[in-house]
Amino acid sequence: MGQPEGQFLAERWHAANRGASDRAPLSAEKSLNGVHTWQEVYQAAGPAQRVELLALAEHQGLLYGHQLPRPTNGRPTDEVRQFLKHVLSTGVRATPPLRAAPIRCPGLNARQTEAVARALSTPDICLIQGFPATGKSTTAAEIVSQAAGRGERVLVVSPLAAATDRILDLMRGRESVCPLRCVARNENPDALPEYSRSLLFGEQLRRLQSQAQAAAEARLAEAECRHAGLAADAGAWPLLMELADRHERVLEKSRDLSRRRASVPDAVATIVARLQVSGTREAVEGPAPEHDFERTILAGIDCWNQAQQLIDRSLAEIANQVQSCKEHLARLTAEQNALAPLAEAQAGGRWWKWAWWRAALHGNVTAQAADLQARILQGKEELNSSEDQAAHVHSERRQLEDEARAEQAGRMEQEIARRIAEIDAQDSALAAELSVVDAKRRQLQDCLHPETNRPAPAVAEVRAAMAKWQHLLEASSQACAGSRAWAEHLRRDPEVLAESLRTCFNVFAMILTGSASDPAGEGFDSDATFDLLVVDHAESITEAEFVATARRCRRWVLIAELTSCESGMSAGRPPAEHRPDRRPHKPSTPGFFQRLWTALHCDPVRLPYVWLREADNRLCCRLRSVSTEQRRWMEVERVADFREIELRIVAPPRGKAGSGDSFLAEVVFPPTMSIPDAKAYIFRELDEVPVRAVRHDVVWHESSDRLRMLLGPRPADTAQACLIPLADGVHELIVGSSDGQTADSDWHTAAVEFEIAAGWDRARAEAWAARHLSMTDLGRTSLLTAPCGCAVGLSAFLSDVLFDADFRDSSPHGGPQEECAVEFTAVPALPRGGLRPGRHGIRPPNGAGLEIDLSDSRQHDRLPAELRARIEATRGYVNYAEAQAVVRGLLKIARDFSGDRITAAGMGSHNGDSSHRLCLGVVALYPGQAQLIRLLLEPHTTALAAAGLDVRVDAPGGFHETEYSTALVSLTRSHAHRAVVFGEGPSALATALTRGRLRLMVFGDVGTLARRVEWRSSLDPLDEAAAERERAMVAGLLRYIRNEGKSQHAFRLRHDNGFTSVAPVRSVPTRRAVGREGSNA
């Protein structure tokens, strides 16, 4: 009694299921091996065991209990740690290769799209690494959006709040994403960007509550209004019904009149016929009809009857006369016939005949005969006369008959016309009545609710419309009740939406706090599990931090910025073994991400093959790395059938612990042997392809006739390329050694090509590469090397200087074409002509020594007194002259901008800018320099603001996840005589150089740059790898200063003697090149 229907249903449902489940323990939780579930067993199994188990299950359709591996005793190992342990210990063997299905990512370049595809298809882990400004955050946002679109719950974490917020911002407006920004305990919600703050649970709930409350009230008002409108129709229905009834009755009468009108001729004819039959009789037997028409008809009939009687009598008399004439003639004819023989005998005188005698007895027979003849003629005339008279009377009778009939027809027509006129009059009256009824009906219908059906004027129709109206009324009543209940619900319990809102989120973003138990803000369920974990800036997290978060997620995507720990990533240059001046260095310990990357990423540069010329000019191919200790055990053998070829085999003494087995380490060829011949020999004899790769990832390129596994930049000139045949339809394309004679660092393997005509496809080619190059791409890593969203010229410059990649504009929209996207201002100014090699000799000038080390108080005197006190608190180096140059540059931009000589668009503004404001980022490599520039700008703040410039000055660390359309970089360092590092390391330098989207202005001392390039070893505080990477960047920049850059057209060298002109800007940036200026973009 009184039990809610829902509760009853639920209880019934559970009771029905309980009936079965009470009798049997159906949960599979402790079902296998007594204590371990299948999940525990599977997760405890190693990768190889897992593969075996799945293969067996597929083969048998199921697995049998005894076929399961026995898990280790005790608590099952943590799945995440187990997986990481396998990956980090067994590397590429840990996980089976994966081929991601191609997907479409509008707005992303090919590398980013590939990264998204891999991240979405991985069953376990995917690593994405890239240089600054290669679109990692964009890629992360795309991964999250697409995963959310597939119905997955995604957790986005980053040690940097700005990175998390950037990803959220990039997903703004995506239909599939319903994000929640969770706040950690140590995070200040007020410090979040506006958009991220709006995604906090409290904010969203508050917004939702107010909007829902307003909508509910509005809906209630609307529903009540609608219901009232519909209910008001109730009184109209009886009237409409009555009118419909009247309408139908009038129509029926009208139809009856029509029928009567149609039957009038027949009715009149029937009357006439009846009168003709009965009228004559009644004329004799009964009274005359009362109606005029009938009386007239009867009179006509009587008249006709009388005339007919007279004529008939006359005809009878004439007939008698004719009869008597005929009889008289017959008698005369008989007499004549009797006299005729007598007269003939008499006339013939045949006295001997009896007839003569008889004639003689009769007297004058001849006369008698003549008399008879005359009488016959007379009789005939009389007969003819009588017959003529009879014909005449007949004719008269017909004439009279026709006249009588015509008269009757005329009377009938008159009668018909009269009767039809009478019906028409009635019909007109009905039509008038109908129009009155219809007018009333229309008037009523006009007053009905717009949703109510307007019925046709028929009772059935009105009844049907009324039924529909009742249904509508009922529905509106329900809607009203529902709206009222909902509005009341919201008024009474504002928290009612919290539960619903929690279930809506599918993307949870937070900073990585290092502890999974740290409540990351309201709305976040600490026990929640996720389908996908996306970790941005994974290079900064530890394994413990990762494990704490990853154990609640099914799949993981780690995105990291390329750091100095990834040694040798400066592609295009030979690996470390090639450097002649190797010195012991202190290698930095690779972080958690880098260890994973090393284990999972297929990096061709890490292949052990090394080609070098020995002192005696022999060509040496090193197949395996040989340690110093192993080199002591190296034995030399000569090839029996080719004595000039020398095999160097490492043969450790037997019993030596940890020494391993013997292996062929090097093959040495005679000086005359070319590289192609040597390579062909090694492949033929050893089944190996000792490539010299310069790419750090494997990229497959498919054309109509061949598949290419790209291992280095393609040759600009085919004359530099050489194809070395390997297997059937397989060639190695090397570049820079067309004659095959050079064996030093100036050649590389561009690709291994597979001819499709020879039957090669991707799978077969990959298998071939795995066998002959020991390279297997697990499909779980992606390396982003192409600048993303920059102007074409700037992209080309950055690609050359930072990434050293083979830049091709792969952005879907293409960047704006700017003539000079990069400007370098030399401080101090260079002599006119710059540093062209061969002019002043190769050696560049020394550094100008303009830098001031803030840690050395003795140097502070070189700063103006008014600035000194305000600078001392900061750290690092300052360069007063360079700071002044930067300020001059900014003021010049301000003048040009305010004077409309350049536009915001021209300076690289984008959607975020108005045409009156321009945001610029000034990146100084040291906080002290940033502070100095700020101080120097202070007097000009008003002028800059008035000119429409918003300038932000900071060190590289302050520009994470922030990009500007135009960036000014102050390199700061200007040492007089030695090589120095630029900033905190190569990452900071890369960050500084990549903050501009469309335009980059660099300020620096060319002499210091040149000195830095000359130094090829570790440089305090950088380890060797980081120092090399920084050196490569500086060298790249110096190439452009020397006018030797690959994309020199995008570069302009300026001198710090004031801006004499502003670089012409010829294009308007496209949307692609646009970020959100001056904020977390």
Partner 1 sequence: MKAAASELPPGPKIADWMEQLKDRQPVSIRVGNVILHRVDALVFVTTLQRLDSLSAHVLNLLSVEPHPLSTERLGVILGLPPEVTRRILSALLDDGLIIVGEDSLSSKKTWSIPSAVRPIPGTGYRAHRSCERRVLTFLECADAARPAQYVNVCGPEWGEPVIDNLGGLNFKRADIGVCIRQSLEWKQRRGFPLDIAALCESSPRIPPWQSVIINKPERCRVLLLQDTEGFHGFALDRRDWSLHSVRPYFTLADLDAVECFPGTDSVPSEVDWRRAWQDWMKSHGLFGSESSAVRLQLNGTRLRVQVPETMRNRLVELLNKNGGWLAVASAAFHTLARVEIDNALPS
Site for partner 1 in 123-142 (CB under 8 A): 123
| Stretch of 34-42, 710-718, 878-886, 955-963 lying at the interface with partner 1 (CB under 8 A) | 34-42
Q: Which is nearer to partner 1, 19 or 899 (CB)?
A: 19
Helix 459-492 × helix 236-274 angle, to 10°:
170
The token pair at 742 is: 């050079």
Q: Which is nearer to partner 1, 17 or 443 (CB)?
A: 17
Q: Give yes or no for a contact between 135 and 178, defined as CB atoms under 8 angstroms apart.
A: no
Question: With binding defined as CB under 8 A, does residue 32 bind partner 1?
Answer: yes
| Stretch of 51-59, 579-587, 856-864, 1025-1033 lying at the interface with partner 1 (CB under 8 A) | 51-59
Applying CB under 8 A, among 2, 3, 23, 352 the residue interacting with partner 1 is 23
Applying CB under 8 A, among 499, 661, 739, 900 the residue interacting with partner 1 is 499
The contacts of residue 249 (CB under 8 Å, 6+ apart) are none
Q: Give yes or no for a contact between 953 and 919, defined as CB atoms under 8 angstroms apart.
A: no
Q: Which is nearer to partner 1, 208 or 612 (CB)?
A: 208
Q: Which is nearer to partner 1, 63 or 967 (CB)?
A: 63
Question: With binding defined as CB under 8 A, does residue 28 bind partner 1?
Answer: yes
Long-range contacts of 500-504 (CB under 8 A, 24+ apart): 501/201, 501/204, 501/205, 501/208, 504/178
- The C-alpha atoms of residue 423 and residue 41 are separated, in whole angstroms, by 101
Q: Which is nearer to partner 1, 321 or 470 (CB)?
A: 470
Q: Which is nearer to partner 1, 68 or 372 (CB)?
A: 68
Instruction: Determine the Cα angle at 412 with ends 407 and 417, to 5°.
Output: 130
- The C-alpha atoms of residue 476 and residue 888 are separated, in whole angstroms, by 72
Scan residues 892-931 and list those touching partner 1 (CB under 8 A): none
| Stretch of 28-36, 309-317, 877-885, 936-944 lying at the interface with partner 1 (CB under 8 A) | 28-36
Backbone angles phi, psi at 954, to 5 degrees: -165, 170
Question: With binding defined as CB under 8 A, does residue 207 bind partner 1?
Answer: yes
Applying CB under 8 A, among 116, 125, 128, 212 the residue interacting with partner 1 is 212
| Strand duo 949-954 + 964-970: pairing | unpaired
Applying CB under 8 A, among 88, 98, 184, 208 the residue interacting with partner 1 is 208
Buried b / exposed e over 354-383, threshold 16 CB at 10 Å, is ebbeebeeeeebeebbeebeebbeebeebb
Q: Least Å distance between CB 488 and partner 1?
A: 12
C-alpha distances in Å from residue 1004, one per residue of 539, 545, 835, 972, 984: 30, 40, 14, 6, 16
Q: Give yes or no for a contact between 622 and 686, defined as CB atoms under 8 angstroms apart.
A: no
Question: With binding defined as CB under 8 A, does residue 17 bind partner 1?
Answer: yes
Question: With binding defined as CB under 8 A, does residue 53 bind partner 1?
Answer: yes
Question: With binding defined as CB under 8 A, does residue 231 bind partner 1?
Answer: no
Question: With binding defined as CB under 8 A, does residue 175 bind partner 1?
Answer: yes
- The C-alpha atoms of residue 108 and residue 3 are separated, in whole angstroms, by 57
| Stretch of 481-489, 567-575, 982-990, 1022-1030 lying at the interface with partner 1 (CB under 8 A) | 481-489
Question: With binding defined as CB under 8 A, does residue 27 bind partner 1?
Answer: yes
Q: Least Å distance between CB 18 and partner 1?
A: 9
The token pair at 920 is: 């610029």
Phi-psi domain of 950 (left: phi exceeds 0; alpha: psi -120 through 50; beta: other): beta
Question: With binding defined as CB under 8 A, does residue 472 bind partner 1?
Answer: yes
Q: Least Å distance between CB 114 and partner 1?
A: 19
Question: With binding defined as CB under 8 A, does residue 754 bind partner 1?
Answer: no
Applying CB under 8 A, among 304, 486, 530, 768 the residue interacting with partner 1 is 486
Closest by CA position to 993, among listed 1008, 1009, 971: 971
Q: Least Å distance between CB 201 and partner 1?
A: 12
**Single-letter amino acid, residue 730:** V
| Stretch of 1-9, 894-902, 948-956, 1071-1079 lying at the interface with partner 1 (CB under 8 A) | 1-9
Long-range contacts of 579-587 (CB under 8 A, 24+ apart): 579/1016, 581/1016, 581/1017, 583/1017, 583/1018, 583/1024, 585/1017, 585/1018, 585/1023, 585/1024, 586/1018, 586/1023, 586/1024, 587/1023, 587/1024, 587/1025
Question: With binding defined as CB under 8 A, does residue 50 bind partner 1?
Answer: yes
Scan residues 407-436 and list those touching partner 1 (CB under 8 A): none
Strand partners, 154: 507, 532
Scan residues 501-520 and list those touching partner 1 (CB under 8 A): 501, 503-506
The contacts of residue 165 (CB under 8 Å, 6+ apart) are 181, 192, 193, 195, 196, 509, 961, 1080
- The C-alpha atoms of residue 294 and residue 418 are separated, in whole angstroms, by 14
Q: Least Å distance between CB 618 and partner 1?
A: 54
- The C-alpha atoms of residue 265 and residue 271 are separated, in whole angstroms, by 10
Q: Least Å distance between CB 31 and partner 1?
A: 5
Scan residues 57-96 and list those touching partner 1 (CB under 8 A): 57, 60-66, 68
Applying CB under 8 A, among 259, 394, 489, 613 the residue interacting with partner 1 is 489
Q: Which is nearer to partner 1, 39 or 911 (CB)?
A: 39
Q: Which is nearer to partner 1, 152 or 732 (CB)?
A: 152
Q: Which is nearer to partner 1, 203 or 248 (CB)?
A: 203
Applying CB under 8 A, among 35, 48, 214, 432 the residue interacting with partner 1 is 214
Scan residues 649-688 and list those touching partner 1 (CB under 8 A): none
Question: With binding defined as CB under 8 A, does residue 258 bind partner 1?
Answer: no
- The C-alpha atoms of residue 145 and residue 727 are separated, in whole angstroms, by 44
Question: With binding defined as CB under 8 A, does residue 189 bind partner 1?
Answer: no
Q: Which is nearer to partner 1, 238 or 482 (CB)?
A: 482
C-alpha distances in Å from residue 302, one per residue of 25, 257, 305: 116, 34, 5
| Stretch of 206-214, 784-792, 801-809, 1029-1037 lying at the interface with partner 1 (CB under 8 A) | 206-214
Q: Which is nearer to partner 1, 47 or 912 (CB)?
A: 47
| Stretch of 47-55, 84-92, 371-379, 884-892 lying at the interface with partner 1 (CB under 8 A) | 47-55
The token pair at 927 is: 């906080």
Scan residues 550-579 and list those touching partner 1 (CB under 8 A): none
Q: Least Å distance between CB 156 and partner 1?
A: 15
Q: Give yes or no for a contact between 73 and 65, defined as CB atoms under 8 angstroms apart.
A: no
Q: Least Å distance between CB 7 and partner 1?
A: 8
**Single-letter amino acid, residue 565:** C
Q: Give yes or no for a contact between 527 and 553, defined as CB atoms under 8 angstroms apart.
A: no
Q: Give yes or no for a contact between 781 and 595, defined as CB atoms under 8 angstroms apart.
A: no
| Neighbouring C-beta atoms of residue 384, cutoff 10 Å | 12
Scan residues 346-385 and list those touching partner 1 (CB under 8 A): none
The token pair at 731 is: 């060639």
Applying CB under 8 A, among 86, 111, 166, 219 the residue interacting with partner 1 is 219
Question: With binding defined as CB under 8 A, does residue 215 bind partner 1?
Answer: yes
Give the x-and-dash track for 267-306 against partner 1 (CB under 8 A). Answer: ----------------------------------------
Question: With binding defined as CB under 8 A, does residue 492 bind partner 1?
Answer: no
Q: Which is nearer to partner 1, 326 or 484 (CB)?
A: 484
Applying CB under 8 A, among 1, 2, 5, 361 the residue interacting with partner 1 is 5
Count of residues interacting with partner 1 (CB under 8 A): 73
Scan residues 523-552 and list those touching partner 1 (CB under 8 A): 531
